[in-house]
A and B are shown apart, each in its own frame.
Chain A
Amino acid sequence: MKKNSAILFAFVSPAAILFLLVFLYPILRTLCMSFFKIDGVTDAFSKWQFVGLENYQKLLSTTLFRISMGNLFRIWAFGGILVLSLSLLFAVIITSGIRGKSFFRAMIYLPNIVSAVALATMWLQYVYSPKFGLLKSFFTMIHLDKLARIQWLSNDHKFMALLIAYCFGMVGYHMLIFASGIERISGDYFEAATLDGANRLQQFRHITLPLLKGMFHTNITMWSVSSVGFFVWSQLFSTVTADTQTITPMVYMYMQIFGAGNSVTERNAGIGAAVGVCLSLCVVLIFQLCNRLFKDKDLEF
């Protein structure tokens, strides 16, 4: 047994050592960078200026960063509720023995395989267009002129427009995770419940939901990680310069590291690193919360 564990460690060690080198070093370096003022992200250590907690203080006192954190929270919370509810609904529907299950599953997942650039262009230049957009035409057709006049990409509606477009592409992915969780539940439970006179809603409430705890945990964690890294859609909805309704901490980090827009602006990779540290803390916090909320170890099925 002793011999076996030595061999086990021997074969795990290379991966562990490489993992530490590839992941731990950047994490520690980022943490260290966040206490310095650094012009270029690859500047030599001799060029770094120690500023202590100044980068963090600056971040907290910068309105734009606070706006970006607010946007991130809105994407995570409202987007999360929207995406996870829809994915759960679709997952329940496609696992309910519906005809054409594979077709619907493929259709709902389809936006995931289309490039975000193509999807965003479709939403921006077609769906939301105030001239010939899908929404405008649709609302005009059903004589809802007030809704037809809404400028979906104006500052007041831009966040909502972005969120809808983003969530549209995310539902399929989370639906598959929920669907796999539902398919894992043995049909015997549902059969027994049916014999006992439980209707579909009761079965969902008392069998499906409790047994999907693990899937909720996975989905919320995945959603949180992808929300924290929210960048591409934000860039696509506000080209060249950032926008108060679409800016996220990742975009703010990019602006600090590589400069903002077409202007030559002051860069500070230290602030960028501080943003990274804050975001990591958010993910760790959410992960811990999820672990406490969704303890599924007591369930075996």
Chain B
Amino acid sequence: MKRKLLYPIAVMASLALALTACGGSQTKESAKDEKSESKAEAGSKAEKADASAQSGDGLVYWSMWEATEPQGQALKEAIDAFTKDTGIAVDVQFKGRTGIREGLQPALDAGTNIDLFDEDIDRVNKTWSAYLLDLEELAKANDYEKTANAGLIAACREVGGGTLKSIPYQPNVFAFFYNKAIFEEAGVKEVPKTWEELDKACALIKEKGYAPITSDDAYILSSFGYHLSRINGYEKASSIVKDGKWDDPSVLAVAKAYEDFAKKGYFSESIASNVWPAGQNQELAAGTAAIYLNGSWLPNEVKDIAGDDFQWGCFSYPAVENGVDGIEAANFGAQVLAINKNSKHAEDAFKLITYFTKGKYDQKLSEMSLGIPADSDNKEWPEILSSVKPVMESLKTRYPWAASAEDNADMTPILKENFTKLCGGSITAEEFVKNLQK
């Protein structure tokens, strides 16, 4: 009997030993957390905040930024001031792009205490729609829309299925950015509004010895998407890409337009081998190329290379002959903040969102990250983005990211390979279409 018992007892004892070892380290961890939290707080409101954090009354914010980025630094500053003003503790966790993309949904599914989070407008509203709190009532109660960017709020409602489930901040637009000094030197007086005008401008720029257009592998496909959407409108363009209707005449038309530009030598010599950020850093910012299709975050990304004297210009992707959409359509959007539908502190979370996206801290975020302010009362945009303002204000139709070009994940790399070759001049428009049909 004793012998029979020996085996299970020994197993249980060893298991218990193994598990207590794990448990021990957890206890140590949490004790360490408590210690660091209590050290960090001081003052009466801060003490209250500390207490609220420890009792679970504080807010937990999962951020898409890194703590070292200007956006992360600005948000941290806003959070510190928010806690000081309101006594509400905020546990901010800077997860970064990959961290939030991979980790948010599993964490929410596991019931992790997360009150608010942020990411791109489309990902939040489409991929994570099931986790979002409807913000219509909170927005109304706080009169939020009075000073919000109406176009972006409308975009949030549109992607949120007709209701407001996210609040935009750090607005951005995807358009052609250019070096004004090169345009002036080449005698290009007006920004191109049509493909023909772009053709003429490129010819003048090339004459002066500059590469008119450059790009990087990360963004080059947006050119294809924009052109296809200009011809067809986004919905049809997207269905062409998703359903592989490569025999649609508009695909060949896009290819012909780019083949023509490649033949005329309008693209940088290294466009076929530019791995991000080579094109934006070594060509556009370095002043050897004039135009680059990218987001309004570009000037901030290359500011250290371009220098203070770089004159930034911006224009919407030109209209094409007989196209459905014109320069009033573009991929514009924002990062958005959203509240977990299971949050017990939705009102506090909305207060924090308001703190981030209005007045002083919205302005601060704009200044620190050289971004566009979200509050319509914050009329001062960073000088570097002054030419983006008229473009942003003229937009009426919104394209999602890459304007259809990346809507079919199984085709994106194949499309990218062939479009890059087309711009590099190593294949013809017909070969481009044929390669997609394989």
Contact = CB atoms under 8 A, between A and B. Distances in A.
Interface of A: 3, 6-7, 9-11, 13-15, 17-18, 40-44, 62-65, 67, 124-125, 128-131, 151-155, 157-158, 237-245, 247, 255-256, 258-267
B413 A241 contact: yes
Contact of A42 (B110, B126, B270): B110
Given A64-B413, A259-B127, A263-B409, 9 more contacts: A11-B14, A40-B109, A130-B273, A151-B270, A157-B273, A244-B413, A259-B101, A260-B409, A263-B122
Chain B contact residues: helix, strand, loop or mixed: helix
22 contacts: A6-B6, A6-B10, A14-B15, A17-B15, A64-B413, A67-B414, A151-B270, A151-B272, A153-B273, A153-B274, A153-B275, A155-B421, A239-B276, A242-B413, A259-B409, A260-B406, A260-B412, A261-B402, A262-B406, A263-B406, A263-B409, A264-B127
B362 interface: no
A265 B105 CA distance: 16
A130 B269 contact: yes
Interface in B71-118: 101-102, 105-106, 109-110
Nearest to B123: A264
A241 B217 contact: yes
Interface of B: 3, 6-7, 10-11, 14-15, 17-18, 101-102, 105-106, 109-110, 120, 122-123, 126-127, 217-219, 221, 269-270, 272-276, 278, 282, 400-402, 406-414, 416-417, 420-421, 424, 438
A3 B6 CA distance: 9
Contacts of A258: 101-102
Contacts of A255: 409
Nearest to A131: B282
A238 B413 CA distance: 10
Contact of A262 (B106, B401, B410): B401
Contacts of B424: 154
Given A7-B10, A261-B406, A41 B106 contact: yes
A12 to B, nearest CB: 9
Chain A contact residues: helix, strand, loop or mixed: loop
Nearest to B6: A6
A266 B413 CA distance: 16
Contact of B409 (A14, A15, A43, A265): A265
Contacts of B6: 6-7, 10
Given A43-B109, A238-B217, A263-B400, A129 B413 contact: no
B123 A247 contact: no
Given A13-B11, A42-B105, A241-B406, A155 B275 contact: no
Contacts of B407: 263, 265
B10 A11 contact: yes
Given A63-B438, A255-B409, A263-B402, A41 B278 contact: no
Q: Which 6 A-B pairs have the closest CB atoms?
A: A10-B10, A151-B273, A260-B409, A240-B218, A153-B273, A263-B406
A15 B18 CA distance: 9
Nearest to A267: B127
B413 A259 contact: no
A296 to B, nearest CB: 35
Contacts of B400: 263-264
Nearest to A153: B273
A241 B414 CA distance: 11
Contacts of B15: 13-14, 17
A14 B17 CA distance: 9
A119 to B, nearest CB: 14
Contacts of B105: 40-42
B417 A6 contact: no
Nearest to A17: B15
Contacts of B218: 239-241
Contacts of B102: 258
A243 B416 contact: yes
Contacts of B420: 154-155
A161 B278 CA distance: 16
A66 B127 CA distance: 27
Given A40-B105, A42-B110, A124-B275, A265 B406 contact: yes
Contacts of B282: 129, 131
B308 to A, nearest CB: 23
A130 B3 CA distance: 76
A142 B294 CA distance: 38
B122 A264 contact: yes
Contacts of B270: 130-131, 151
Contacts of A64: 410-411, 413-414
A124 B105 CA distance: 33
A158 B273 CA distance: 8
Contacts of A256: 409
A158 B218 CA distance: 15
A10 B73 CA distance: 53
A261 B416 CA distance: 12
B272 A240 contact: no
A243 B417 contact: yes
B98 to A, nearest CB: 9
A241 B438 contact: no
Contacts of B417: 155, 243-245
Contacts of A9: 7
A259 B412 CA distance: 12
B280 to A, nearest CB: 12
Given A6-B6, A155-B421, A241 B127 contact: no
B120 A262 contact: yes
Contacts of A152: 273
A18 B11 CA distance: 12
B221 A241 contact: yes
Contacts of A261: 401-402, 406, 409, 412
